Amino acid sequence: VTTTAVRPAALPVASVELDWFDPSRQRPVKVTVWYPVGQQCQANSRGAKAQLCLHPATDVSQSAMFSHGAMGAAKGYRWIGELLAAQGIVTVGLNHYGESWIYGPEHVNHRTVLQFGLRPQDARFVLDQLELRQQDATAPLLSQPVNWQNLTAVGHSSGAATMLALAGAHYELTKAPVYCKTEAAALDRSCGYLPSKAVLAKVAVAAGQDYQDARVKRLIALDPAMGHLVDAASLARITTPVLVVGSVQNDFLPYAAHAGFYAQQLAHADRIELTQGEGHFVYLDSCRHQHQALGVSLCQDRAGVNRKQVQQQLAPQLLTFVMASQG
């Protein structure tokens, strides 16, 4: 376990990485937790102290979970974790094995991107674990019980599609070959992940299953991917409040086929359009490395785009949505 203190905001915030393992799938699941940090944990009636000491002002009535984009990691979106935790919301970031670099480069396999069904299963496993560990008085994770039944789900790109699956979206991966031959897909970088028909048929069944989870009460989709593969009828049935944030002059996912399509089809969606040249990766923390995704830089934005300013402008809008959609 590695704990790192971060700069204080409305409430002081800390982060911790936890290593978990899902025995039913023989799959590791690392989680990054941002939380309002307290000074000292008191022992409970069993004489046990919690692993994470929450601030007395923590909003235990709600919680949040984040899913990263393809080949990413939760810690690459620290601004979101800190934003929510500073408002008192314990926020758990998923790190999807096979995609996330947090497990080490030897465990990264680009073909895992196609195994979309693994992602919502990771989310459900982690939520189950959080609830189970909360009930364990002998080794409590948190110093105060948090309501994991009142969850804000947040995701970027395929992470947003992951969270939409938890809200009830169904995906049909077999649509990909047809779509990727169309003129509309000419600038769609996601077609670079297109596998052989045999592989597609193998992974399509798991991706198309129903992963709806009633614990998700509101959802923030940051430039969501897989709009060309989602079943529009399933989106129309979603009653969960959703905020769709999309980059209109997109350098990776055409807005009309992805974020714009979701916003149009979801019956209970608010929309924020970024129209000043912001690209698909403006939602990541500011960075300086040279890594690219299918030829698009993860760190370098277009001329005139200030990533930190974009995120600072988005932050109050995201918080307003979270608070306004409380049931």
pLDDT of residue 5: 45
pLDDT of residue 9: 53
pLDDT of residue 326: 83
Q: What is the mean pLDDT of residues 21-35?
A: 97
- pLDDT tens-place string over residues 174-193: 999 999 999 989 999 999 98
- pLDDT tens-place string over residues 137-166: 888 999 999 999 999 999 999 999 999 999
- Tokens at 153, concatenated: 């789900």
CA distance 117 to 11: 36
Contact between 216 and 166 under an 8 Å Cβ cutoff? The reply is yes
Q: Which residues contact 244 (CB under 8 A, 6 or more apart)?
A: 221, 224, 259, 262, 263, 266, 269, 270, 271, 272
Residues of the chain with pLDDT > 90, as a percent, come to 81
Q: How confident is the model at residue 234 (pLDDT cuts 50, 70, 90)?
A: very high
Average pLDDT of the chain? 93
Which residue from 146, 128, 81, 114 is spatially nearest to 284, judged by alpha carbons?
A: 81
3-class secondary-structure state, position 58: coil
Q: How many residues does the chain have?
A: 327
CA distance 231 to 94: 25
Of 99-113, 226-240, 297-311, the range with the lowest mean pLDDT is 99-113
Which helix (DSSP H) or strand (DSSP E) does residue 77 occupy?
A: none
Contact between 277 and 302 under an 8 Å Cβ cutoff? The reply is yes
CA distance 214 to 216: 5
CA distance 296 to 173: 23
Q: Helices H, strands E: what count in the chain? A: 8, 11
- pLDDT tens-place string over residues 32-60: 999 999 988 888 877 788 999 999 999 99
- pLDDT tens-place string over residues 188-221: 999 998 888 888 888 889 888 999 999 999 999 9
